[in-house]
Amino acid sequence: MMFLRSFAICLLGAVSHALGQRADLILINANIHTMAESGQVFQSLAITSNKISALGSNAQVMKTKSKKTRIIDAGGKTIVPGLFDSHLHVIRGGRFYNAELRWDGVKTLKRALGMLGEQAKRTPKGQWVRVVGGWNEYQFEEKRLPTLDEINEVTGDVPTFILYLYGKAWLNKAAITALDINANTPNPQAGLIEKDENGDPTGLLVAEPNAFILYSTLAKLPELSGEEKINSTIQFMTELNRLGVTAVMDAGGGFQNFPDDYVITDSLYKQGKLTVRLPYFLFAQKKGTELADYSRWIGMVDVGHIHSNDESEEDYRVAGGGENLLAEAADFENFLLPRPELPPTMQPNLVPIIELLAKNKWPFRFHATYDESISKVLDVIEKVSKQTPLATPWFFDHAETISEQNIRRIKALGGGIAIQHRMAYQGELFMKRYGKAAASAAPPIKKMLEIGLPVGLGTDGTRVASYNPWIALQWLITGKTIGNTQVMKTENTLDRNTALRLLTSGGYTLLKDKTKGIIELGSVADLAVLSNDYFSVPDEEIHAITSDMTVLDGKIVWADKEFKTLGPARLPVIPDWSPVKYYGGYQTK
């Protein structure tokens, strides 16, 4: 039916092709959703070099072939622009991907604990078992969290760390011993090491509300070797390609130090081995030194260009500052505890940082969960903008409870918002604390779009929500969490076309880039050939969509099923004990 519909649209005249250009690659027998405002759907496309050079019916596009043209029959599959995750910690996540056991998508706690036990048996001495984000108890049939007794039983004497959202983490007995945590170990500021009635640590770490205790503990765990980190980063990018992702805006992250922790992606970039476009933002790491950090970084790199004077290179670059510009401005999204109040010193300390970025024409992004925080930050941005024009792009990340008034203030200042599917993972906890009414439009995406704000969609993977972008789409379309709880009211959800635009051209709109995220003549050839038709599958099946073939810049970077022989060979996973070798990434059972 979809094939006939697209063919009919082509016959009605919504056809363009660039005659005279000989194609390198032609895809035929497809349902090509351009994601243009016109809603055009085509049967065939051609790629010349790295650009879309023809769109139309099979017969029309085949006129551009030559003897050297590669022709691929899409078999009626749906093709969309490559997905752009506008908030993902892929540089940090890539370094650790091969070391982490993913519970993303696991359907039962029994299965999750089974995986934990299996991994403990293969993990060598000196390494840890670690589960780091992408899950919650509501996804399990049992609808509960694991207990420390269960964790200790299946992991034995292998140190184990399990992160739960932004709120807490479990250490098994072996991990407590390895980290030398005892009855006399002090609690860090805004964190709790839970003790039993005898004053001994139980293994539970609690953010109160600062996640520093969780992430600083994670940072103490052993890392992979340099060779393994390279393999790990490639494996993570391949996993993203498998899901149809061709671009990521990296948001930095805690314990992600520039430039030291960027050597892996630097190396892969120089070798031409990055398989996602990767503009990245520099995240201030230490409270009290943020201004000094940005002053130093501004002296090291020109925004938009990294390690090179070649201004044509845009796919891997420093894109600006953030998402953390100032530690005092962090409003921790730990819904297990009340909203934190930002200290009175936040605004005067933020002013010189925003001034520095504005004067040096550095774009920036700003982490903010609550409207109260956004109001205070906007006061600073407005103050600075009166003296120094802001560099664009600039935008807020998250903004779950933002008010219409503040949306309009952002619009007036030329900013935007990057939203994520964090409520798909924390919606139940949010409702427990703030109620149904507050959750019914969190974030108020329809109001943002109505006002005309640039909006991009992403995941905020990997330490809390999953990196799977199709969950983000399912959440925006249904308003339901991964536990199938209706959190967002249906009148505040989006239709499928609008939602997908936020995950394709939306991120590029935030970056003021109009050449990507859409399939049209002259646009870069970033495509995903989908495993199922996104536009017709039942709502509850959207999250299970993958890409059978992903094209980046005109080249096939991932191919599966009937297209498998057309793609690059799969890189073996190292080290041999890596959970990725045995389970892969996102789980389906």
> pLDDT tens, 229-248?
999 999 999 999 999 999 99
SS3 31: strand
Q: What's the rounded Cα separation, in Å, for the pair 116 and 103?
A: 9
pLDDT surpassing 70 at residue 12: no
Does residue 115 sit in the same domain as residue 210?
yes
The chain-wide mean pLDDT, for the chain, equals 94
Residue 163 lies in a domain: yes
Residue 54 lies in a domain: yes
CA distances from 313 to 270, 316, 322, 512, 553 (A): 11, 7, 22, 16, 13
Provide DSSP, 320-381: EE-S-S-GGG-----TTSPPPPPPTTHHHHHHHHHHHHHHTT--EEEEE-SHHHHHHHHHHH
User: φ, ψ for residue 448 (rounded to 5)?
Assistant: -60, -45
Q: Are 59 and 27 in contact (CB under 8 A)?
A: no
Q: Are 170 and 148 in contact (CB under 8 A)?
A: yes
Residue 413 lies in a domain: no
Burial of 363 (0-12, 13-18, 19+ CB in 10 A): buried
Does residue 50 sit in the same domain as residue 100?
no
Does residue 63 sit in the same domain as residue 152?
no
| E-strand stretches of 168-242 | 168-171, 191-195, 201-207
- Last residue of some domain: 223, 242, 261? 223
* Range 280-304 average pLDDT: 95
pLDDT surpassing 70 at residue 401: yes
> According to the model, what pLDDT value does residue 309 have?
38
Residue 103 lies in a domain: yes
> According to the model, what pLDDT value does residue 311 have?
34
Provide DSSP, 484-552: --B-S-GGGS--HHHHHHHTTHHHHHHTT--SSSS--TTSB--EEEESS-TTTS-GGGGGG--EEEEEE
Does residue 111 sit in the same domain as residue 211?
yes
> According to the model, what pLDDT value does residue 304 have?
63
* Range 482-489 average pLDDT: 98
> According to the model, what pLDDT value does residue 397 have?
98
**Can you list the pairs that 143-150 forms with residues at least 24 positions away whose Cβ atoms lie under 8 Å?**
143/483, 144/109, 145/109, 146/109, 146/112, 146/113, 146/170, 148/172, 148/202, 148/203, 148/204, 150/113
Q: Are 399 and 417 in contact (CB under 8 A)?
A: yes
CA distances from 290 to 328, 356, 574 (A): 10, 11, 36
Burial of 342 (0-12, 13-18, 19+ CB in 10 A): buried
CATH number of the domain enclosing 157: 3.10.310.70
Radius of gyration of the chain (CA): 24
Does residue 216 sit in the same domain as residue 112?
yes
Helices 263-270 and 226-242: angle between axes, nearest 10 degrees: 70
Domain span holding position 102:
92-223
- Last residue of some domain: 223, 241, 261? 223
Q: Are 394 and 454 in contact (CB under 8 A)?
A: no
Does residue 96 sit in the same domain as residue 71?
no
- Span of 166-175, 215-224, 311-320, 546-555 with lowest mean pLDDT: 311-320
Burial of 273 (0-12, 13-18, 19+ CB in 10 A): middle
Does residue 18 sit in the same domain as residue 110?
no
Question: Token match 């051609």: residue?
Answer: 46
* The dihedral sign for the CA sequence 438, 440, 446, 450: negative
pLDDT surpassing 70 at residue 10: no
For residues 540-578, one letter each, b for 16 or more C-beta atoms within 10 angstroms of the residue's C-beta and e for the rest, the string is eebbbbbbbbbbbbbebbbbbeebeeebeeeeebbbebb
pLDDT surpassing 80 at residue 9: no
Does residue 138 sit in the same domain as residue 15?
no
Q: What's the rounded Cα separation, in Å, for the pair 423 and 333?
A: 10
Q: What's the rounded Cα separation, in Å, for the pair 34 and 469?
A: 19
Q: What is the pLDDT of residues 450-480, one digit of tens each?
A: 999 999 999 999 999 999 999 999 999 999 9
Does residue 214 sit in the same domain as residue 102?
yes
Q: What is the pLDDT of residues 96-115, one digit of tens each?
A: 999 999 999 999 999 999 99
Residue 14 lies in a domain: yes
Q: What's the rounded Cα separation, in Å, for the pair 11 and 102?
A: 47
Provide DSSP, 84-144: EEEEE-HHHHHHHGGG----TT---HHHHHHHHHHHHHHPPTT--EEEESS--GGGSTT-S
Q: How far apart are the first and last CA of the chain?
A: 31
Based on the structure, what is the number of domains in the chain?
A: 2
Residue 408 lies in a domain: no
* Range 210-223 average pLDDT: 96
Cis peptide before 201, with omega less than 30 degrees from 0?
A: no
Q: In this structure, which amino acid lies at residue 65?
A: K
Residue 68 lies in a domain: yes
Residue 452 lies in a domain: no
pLDDT over 70 for what percent of the chain? 95
Does residue 144 sit in the same domain as residue 197?
yes
Q: What is the pLDDT of residues 51-65, one digit of tens each?
A: 999 999 999 999 999
> According to the model, what pLDDT value does residue 21 have?
74
Q: What is the DSSP letter of 245?
A: E
Does residue 147 sit in the same domain as residue 58?
no
Does residue 134 sit in the same domain as residue 55?
no
- Last residue of some domain: 192, 223, 254? 223
CATH number of the domain enclosing 7: 2.30.40.10
CA distances from 99 to 120, 126, 574, 585 (A): 12, 12, 9, 11
Question: Token match 């036990």: residue?
Answer: 117
Q: Which two tokens stand for residue 179?
A: 């980290």
SS3 571: coil
> According to the model, what pLDDT value does residue 1 have?
35
